[in-house]
Amino acid sequence: MEKWPVLGRHPRAAEWLQIWTDLGRAPRTIDAYARGLGEYLLVCEREGIDPLTANRSQVALFVRELTTRPSSRGPNVVVLDSGSGLANATLQQRLVSVRLFYDFLIEEGVRESNPVGRGRYTPRGGFGAGGRGLVPRMVKLPWIPNDQQWRDVLDVFRGEPVRNRVMLALAYDAALRREELCALRTDDIDPGHRMLRIRAETTKTRRGRAVPYSAATGALLAEYLVHRATFSSARGPLFLSESRRNPGQPLTLWTWSKVVRRVALAADVPQFATHTLRHLCLTDLARMGWELHAIATFAGHRSTDSTMAYIHLSGRDLAAKLNAGMAQIHSWRVETLADGGESR
C-alpha cells in the first residue's frame, strides 16, 4: 500500500489485497498483485473510469497502455517478445491482478461479469469458465545455453570465490530456484548421502522435496564449509554475505542475481540468468531419458504441464519419432527400388 497509495483511494481494492495478505500469500505475490491493480487504477483515474463498473472496452485502454509502454529498463532489456517495452509474461502478470479483483467483486455481488475475459463467471463453471484473454499468451520454450556458451560461463565462474562456485553447482545439480538456493540452511545438507532437503516454505509450490547433488559439488561444498567456518560458526543460513557492510548476514536473492548477471556479462552470454541453471538441468534430465513424472518430482512441479516444456526443449520424443518414422520410410524406399529392379 505504501508503494501504491492509489489503492488507499479505492476501498474495495484495499479490501481485496488485505484478504490475500490475511490468507498468507507470499510477500512477492502481494507486491505483484498490488502493482498490477495499482497501475490499472491509475489508468482508471486518468481516464475518468469507475473501476467498479468498467466494461471490456475500458479495460482495453489499460491493455493498450501496457502494450505501448516503453520498458523502464531501457537498453538493459535482454529479450523483447511483446512488440513493445514489456514482455508478454509481464503483460499477463499485470492482467492477472485485475482479473482476480473482478472475480472478487462478482463474488461480493458488486458485479455480474468479469470484463477481463478469462476468469468469467458462469453458474455452472464458476470462475474461469471459458472466455479468451485480452492479450494472446505466448508460450515460449525456456532458453538454455549451448555447449560453448556454457563453457564460457564456467570459465568466468572458475575465478569466483568458492561460495559463488558452489552456489552455481548446487543450482544446476538440484535444479534449484533462486529462492530455494538462497534459503538453504546448514541443517538442510546430508553430506553422507549427498542430499539436499528443500523445505516446503521456500518453494514456489509449497511442496518440500529431497534432491541429490554430485560428488564434484560435494567436494566444493566441503571446501566452502571450511571457508565459512573462518568467519561464522553459527548454524542457520548456509550462504552468508562476506561484504564489509553485511558480514555474516544471510545472502539475499538480489546479491546472487547480481553475481550471476556480472558473470553473464563477463562471459558475453547476457541471456544467462539465475533460472537458466534450473532450465538447463531439467532439459539435461529429459535428454538422458528420464520419465516425465520423475522430472516433475525432481523439479517440484505441481503439474506435469510445466515439465513438458523441458521434454519439448530436449527434442527427445520428437527425435525418437522421427528416427522411427525415417527408418520405416527408408525401408519402404529401398524395397520399392529392389522390386523395380526385379521387374525389369
Name the band, by pLDDT with cuts 50, 70 and 90, for residue 134: low
Lowest mean per-residue pLDDT among 145-154, 229-238, 304-313: 304-313
Give dist(CA 81, CA 88) in Å, integer.
Answer: 6
pTM score: 0.69
DSSP for 197-221, please give it: EE-GGGSSSS--EEEE--HHHHHHH
The answer to whether residue 135 scores a pLDDT higher than 80 is no
Name the band, by pLDDT with cuts 50, 70 and 90, for residue 178: very high
pLDDT at 132 (0 to 100): 54
pLDDT at 67 (0 to 100): 77
pLDDT digits (tens, 9 = 90+) for 198-244: 999 888 888 899 999 999 999 999 999 999 999 888 899 999 998 88
Q: How many CA atoms lie within 13 A of 152 on its CB side?
A: 15
Give dist(CA 308, CA 331) in Å, integer.
Answer: 32
Name the band, by pLDDT with cuts 50, 70 and 90, for residue 157: very high
Return the sign of the alpha-carbon dihedral for residues 198, 203, 207, 212: negative
Cell of 264: 553473464
Exposed e or buried b per residue across 44-59, where buried means at least 16 C-beta atoms within 10 angstroms of its C-beta? beeeebebeebeeebb
Go through the domains of the chain in sequence order and give each one's CATH number: 5-107 (no CATH), 149-316 (1.10.443.10)
Exposed e or buried b per residue across 231-269, where buried means at least 16 C-beta atoms within 10 angstroms of its C-beta? eeeeeebbbbbbeeeeeeeebeeebbeebbbebbeebeb
